[in-house]
Structure 1
Amino acid sequence: MKSFFCSIFSLLLLLGCANNHYTNRKNIVFQPVEPAANILYSFNDFWNYWSDTVRLSERFIALDTNNIIITKEKFLTKLLSGKYLPLRLQANNNDSPYYKLYKLDTSINKDIPSTIVDLTMVYNHLFQMQGQVLPDFHFVDLNGEIYDAETCKGKIVVLNFWFIHCASCLQEMPQLNKLVLKYKDRKDIVFVSLALDNAAQLKSFLSKNKFNYAVVPDMSKYMYDIIQINTFPTHIILDRNSRVVYTPEDYQELFLELKKQITLDKEISRY
């Protein structure tokens, strides 16, 4: 997971810098989606940029300050120093997202670097989970169904972390319901949601609101203490060996990454 930055890109992206544009020897032009000066003009400008543009959970090509490709792990580590902005770049002939480390000036609003650190900590924690077996899981849903390493062996598991009063969680539920229906005939793909709320609260909520995931109550200890997730909603995709393969930020990314995992499984099964 941490090595998806292909070596071919290292050969192609020997970038130069001029007037907020970055051009390599193959005439691929990269331009910031927003000039850094505009992003850093005020905290509100920064926050709007981050909320609308930054998706550090996605698969992206990371560049250092000298426009050299680095790993995603190193990129996130640099952001944790509070000295850099992840500046998103647009390429004129490539759909892959690019982010460049942009060195922050000490004169900017002090809330900006501290916020970058706080937000990056969330992404970095989820990123570090990738490739690891989901720890100590034994989930029992409202219908008494058990989900653990044994019952989920050989299955792709899609996890959703939420709670009843999370507006963003509720907003995406109709789309998550569509995803479950799309794969309803696949017995090898299961959708499980872990909620902070207790069983009585969830049953009352679900009597008025449809949610096609299996719903597991009282998961605050597991989320907060064991896997240390405290942002909602959060999504995790597990492979057939209960390893975390991806941690999508939202349902759009979840749809895309689940499809990729299914395709990958098909390719592996050929050998």
Structure 2
Amino acid sequence: MKKLQIFLIAIYVFLSFNGFSQTTRIPLSEKSVVKDSTGLVYTYENWSSLIKTGEYKLVKSKMGNDEYLIIGRENVNDNENKQIYRGNSANFVGKKIKFPYMTDLQGRDYWNDILKDKVVVLNFWFVKCAPCKAEIPLLNELYWKYSERENVVFLAVCLDNGGMISEFMKTTPFVYKQVPSGIEIARKFNIAGYPTNLIIDKGVVKYGTTGFTKANIQKAEEILNQCL
């Protein structure tokens, strides 16, 4: 009987320790690799901030011992946008969208009632994205050509926080109104690649492109002119 008790205690200790090990395997350090479903690698600051909101969870990836997938918990209020956005910016064209609430680095707020009657030039990017950086000079030129138009709004949704954007712009100015920590906004738009550029006229997407080529920006300007 005593041997049986010792055996049961040993099993309990083993299972408890194993459960503890499984729990502590959830990454709590900058060394862990966390990606979303598109393969985009999130910084420690980005993914840890999202986890704290309670709207995201991490699941173990099959790709490595310290690699995880971040998954957003579905929000019923996002259904209207999710039925429009399919991860390919070309699929946006002709669709009517609803803008989420956004705040730029200067504290200015933007939401659907503010933007629905405007022509919105919308960019999605992140600091370590090489093609994002390559297109910035051309985007700046586009901004300066049309920035005095009261009905045109240039917004850049960046995945990184305000500090990282400000540091980046010490060497590479980007004159769009910058919306920091935009992972949640990009998720609502189901952005699948970077950079992504959209032109939205009175709530309807007129142009969408993912990736950088000069031809893309030239086409964006052509479409912008048609909207004015």
More helix as a share of residues: 2
Q: Could you tell me the TM-score, scaled by structure 1's length?
A: 0.48
Question: Which residue is 2:5 aligned to?
Answer: none
Q: What is the CA-CA distance between 1:152 and the residue it aligns to?
A: 1.5
Question: How many Å apart are 1:136 and its aligned residue?
Answer: 4.7
The sequence identity of aligned pairs, in percent, is 30
Paired residue for 1:254? 217
Structure 1, unmatched stretches of 5+, are: 1-121, 267-271
User: Is the 2:103–2:110 Cα contact (8 Å) retained in structure 1?
Assistant: yes
- Tell me how far 1:261 sits from its aligned partner: 4.2
| Corresponding residue pairs, total | 142
1:79-118 paired onto structure 2 within 5 Å: none
Match of 1:234 in 2: 196
**1:204 Cα deviation after fit:** 1.8
Q: Hey, what's the Cα distance between the residues in 2 that align with 1:172 and 1:260?
A: 17
Partners of 1:160 and 1:230 lie apart in 2 by 13
What one-letter code is carried by the residue in structure 2 that aligns with 1:243?
A: V
Mapped partners of 2:142, 2:130: distance in 1: 19
> Structure 2 regions of 5+ residues with no counterpart?
1-84
Aligned to 1:243, which of 204, 209, 222?
204
CA RMSD of aligned residues (A): 2.2
The one-letter code of the counterpart of 2:205 is V
Whole-Å separation in 1 of the counterparts to 2:205 and 2:114: 16
Q: Which has the higher contact order (CA 8 A, sep 6+)?
A: 2
Q: Which residue of 2 aligns with 1:127?
A: 90
Measure the CA separation in 1 of the matches of 2:174 and 2:150.
18
| Equivalence for 2:151 | 188
**Whole-angstrom CA distance in 2 between matches of 1:183 and 1:252:** 19
Query: Helix, strand or coil for the counterpart of 2:115?
Result: coil
CA contact under 8 A between 2:139 and 2:217: conserved in structure 1? no
Q: Distance in 1 between matches of 2:151 and 2:166?
A: 26
SS of the residue 1:160 aligns to = strand
Counterparts of residues 1-271 of structure 1 (less than 5 Å): 125-224=88-187, 226-240=188-202, 242-249=203-210, 250=212, 251-263=214-226, 265=227
The structure whose Rg is larger is: 2
- C-alpha distance in 2, partners of 1:123/1:139? 21
Asked if structure 2 preserves the Cα contact closer than 8 Å seen for 1:135 and 1:227, the reply is: no
- Contact 1:197/1:217 (<8 A) preserved: yes
Report the TM-score when normalising by structure 2: 0.56
